[in-house]
Amino acid sequence: MLGGGFIGDFYVHALHGHRRSDRVQVVYSRSESSAKKVAERHGIHHWTTDMSEAVNHPDIDTVIVALPNFLHLEAVRMAAEAGKAVLMTKPLGRNAAEAKEMLDLVEKHGVFHGYLEDLCYTPKTLKAVESVKNGALGDILWVRARETHPGPHSDWFWNKELSGGGAIIDLGCHCIEIARNYIGKDVRPVEVMCWADTQVKPIEAEDHAIALVKYASGAIGQFEVSWCFRGGMDLRDEVMGVEGTIFLNHFLRTGFDMYTAVGEGDYVAEKAESATGWLFPVGDEVNALGYDFMFTDMFDAMDQGKEPMETFYDGYVVNAIMDACYKSSKSKKWESVELEVWRGSEEVSGGPQLKDYDDQHYLIKEEKIPDGTVKLILKDKSSGEIIQKVK
């Protein structure tokens, strides 16, 4: 485990909590105290402040990178050259060029690689994506993903040179990949319109952003991300198809509400701002945020010699979309998503979803009105006239 901070600790909880054979043997941190603390808490036999020592340790076959963004490339290069499988936290890189370099490294050295995009693995998301793939919603038209909270834990996040940006690079990567899973990863992202600004925090990076990502199918992925939200962490998704809709609330309001006047006395939930008043604890945070299913997918794929659900290529595509978001936020225009490598479909569709009512008419809408009759709004295929019928 490269990283002894917040996310590294979460990862070890998930790995050891499943009681399978996978165990963290070495933990590396730039801080000696952090490395020792994580090792002691989780019963890890060896800790170090030397990354090369950790990666090249003889007991290690897989390197999990839970480091700040500016150290990702160095860690991947070291792991790939050592012939070790490498699992990378989000975002893959600070930009698409850096992500592409990491993708090239793992493919050049032929090592297993996985992109640790946990919010694509939440139990609700996996079930919802399965329903979409089964056709329950028909063709997907629009996906909205929202992640907002009061801001990240560590200082480097707030420095755009070290992190690569602000709320977009930190949270937008989640939202973009969630949308890709619903719309279809083989559908090419085409262009982006993005607003981003610094509204509250005294930083150079954006603390709030809203974007539209247009796909070749005509579908729209929409995200809102913020480091200015007060009241905890809000994770919500909405999926709209021609034949149905899905609403998901992953974290802030999930059916566990508690009021306390004196205080809970312990950790409540990630990004919770208070331990008194109305609280929204999470029954199993590691599972609710997708870590359990994520690592199960990674190690099952490794055992079976296949790709996991999320790979470095997915991380590269996400970085390319975020690059377009940053470009659009400055130009105030739609900006193209520049992909040096595209491995999906080249098909471009879009246009209105036309549903036949009969040989002469398209169906616009069917509705039961208060008196019990059914009203049909139709369009004549020949003349284009809009008419209504009651049956």
Task: Kindly tell me if the per-residue pLDDT of 146 is higher than 70.
Answer: yes
Task: Kindly tell me if the per-residue pLDDT of 352 is higher than 80.
Answer: no
What's the pLDDT band for 302 if we cut at 50, 70, 90? very high
Give pLDDT tens digits for 102-136. Answer: 999 999 999 999 999 999 999 999 999 999 999 99
- Return the pLDDT at 188: 98
Task: Kindly tell me if the per-residue pLDDT of 271 is higher than 80.
Answer: no
Give pLDDT tens digits for 6-46. Answer: 899 989 999 998 767 889 999 999 999 999 999 999 999 99
- Return the pLDDT at 273: 79
Mean pLDDT of 73-92: 98
Task: Flag whether 17 is in a domain.
Answer: yes
Mean pLDDT of 194-206: 96
Mean pLDDT of 56-85: 97
Task: Flag whether 33 is in a domain.
Answer: yes
The reported pTM is 0.92
Whether residue 184 sits in one domain with residue 72: no
Q: Which residues contact 119 (CB under 8 A, 6 or more apart)?
A: 125, 147, 174, 177, 178, 235, 250, 289, 290
- Return the pLDDT at 3: 95
Domain's final residue, options 319, 336, 353: 336
For 373, the domain range is 361-390
Q: What is the enclosing helix (H) or strand (E) of 354? A: none
- Return the pLDDT at 258: 84
Whether residue 129 sits in one domain with residue 21: no
Task: Flag whether 159 is in a domain.
Answer: yes
- Number of structural domains (the chain) is 3
Q: What is the enclosing helix (H) or strand (E) of 199? A: none
If DSSP codes are grouped into helix, strand and coil, which group holds residue 182? helix
Task: Flag whether 98 is in a domain.
Answer: no
Contact by Cβ (8 Å): 228, 200: yes
What's the pLDDT band for 221 if we cut at 50, 70, 90? very high
Whether residue 50 sits in one domain with residue 161: no
Task: Kindly tell me if the per-residue pLDDT of 151 is higher than 80.
Answer: yes
Mean pLDDT of the chain: 94
If DSSP codes are grouped into helix, strand and coil, which group holds residue 107? helix
SS3 per-residue string spanning 254-283: CCCCEEECCCCCCCCCCCCCCCCEEECCCC
- Return the pLDDT at 263: 85
Task: Flag whether 353 is in a domain.
Answer: no
% of residues, the chain, pLDDT over 70: 100
Mean pLDDT of 50-59: 96
Mean pLDDT of 316-330: 98
Whether residue 85 sits in one domain with residue 163: no
Contact by Cβ (8 Å): 125, 216: no
Q: What is the enclosing helix (H) or strand (E) of 22? A: none
Mean pLDDT of 300-316: 97
Task: Kindly tell me if the per-residue pLDDT of 270 is higher than 80.
Answer: no
Task: Flag whether 288 is in a domain.
Answer: yes
Task: Please give the Cα distance from 64 to 114 (Å, whole number).
Answer: 9
What's the pLDDT band for 274 if we cut at 50, 70, 90? confident
Whether residue 136 sits in one domain with residue 78: no
- Return the pLDDT at 19: 63
